[in-house]
Amino acid sequence: MCWCFGVSRYSRICYPRKSTTILLNYQLRLGVTSISKSIYKNSNFSLLHYSALQIPVQTRLIASLLQIPVQTRLIASLLTPMTPTLFGRWQTRLLLLATIGVLVSLPFAIGWIGFSANSVYFWILGYVAIFGLGWDVLYDYLQKSRWDRDWPAVYQLLAGIWELVFVFCGVKLFGFLPIPLPKEELSPAAFFLHYSVVWLSVFISSQSLMRIIFPRWRFRGGEWL
């Protein structure tokens, strides 16, 4: 008798109740190269066969519940992209804001986009970077509090909205963050447009350019140094 669990469209675990055979299909996408593994275990031997797969968190969880050998789970964890670590968050944030963020802010600062040329956009970018280092500590704590230790894209969106609200309150509503012009002269429309374009550019770059320029970036928890 065989129990089959379809944990995702990429993977399936088949566990025979009355047999010593365990067949696991894993799919792992390593940038351009795809490596897959089928693990066949019998009473006297183990055979590793590579074909094309990914190892989602659900698969590893079910594998743990089914008491699959520690060696098999260790291999699976080594081949799985890591969720962001605290140092990985810091390194990725500073790198992307110092490059993509600055490039995107230039048209705003010289007056090509927005209502007037002003360096206030670089001040806003700096506040996002500086206070973001503190927010990343909170995000890392919340991530570790989740059962799967994951940080989905929707959480990134919510974090971006929260940081937008905080910086806007600091530079415009309450003025506790200094900027090189009176807060009354800062246009809310220009602020939201600048922040939205920067956030979207950084997000897209983290999902594309970072994976191309730093192929091992995903597998080191976001650390590129």
| 122 pLDDT above the threshold of 60 | yes
User: What is the reported pLDDT for 59?
Assistant: 53
pLDDT digits (tens, 9 = 90+) for 1-35: 333 333 333 333 333 333 333 333 433 333 333 33
Whether the CB-CB separation of 159 and 151 falls below 8 Å is answered with: no
pLDDT digits (tens, 9 = 90+) for 148-197: 888 898 999 999 999 999 999 999 999 999 999 999 999 999 999 999 99
**Distance of alpha carbon 188 from alpha carbon 194, whole angstroms:** 10
pLDDT digits (tens, 9 = 90+) for 60-96: 555 555 555 555 555 554 555 678 899 999 999 999 9
**DSSP 3-state of 33:** strand
pTM of the model: 0.66
Whether the CB-CB separation of 8 and 21 falls below 8 Å is answered with: no
Place of tokens 């962001």: 84
Whether the CB-CB separation of 103 and 112 falls below 8 Å is answered with: no
Whether the CB-CB separation of 97 and 202 falls below 8 Å is answered with: yes
Would you tell me the crossing angle of helices 86-96 and 120-145 to the nearest 10 degrees?
Answer: 160
Phi-psi group of 111: left, alpha or beta (phi > 0 → left; psi -120 to 50 → alpha; rest → beta): left
**Distance of alpha carbon 112 from alpha carbon 117, whole angstroms:** 8
User: What is the reported pLDDT for 34?
Assistant: 36
User: What is the reported pLDDT for 166?
Assistant: 97
> Which H or E run contains 15?
strand 12-16
User: What is the reported pLDDT for 26?
Assistant: 37
User: What is the reported pLDDT for 68?
Assistant: 53
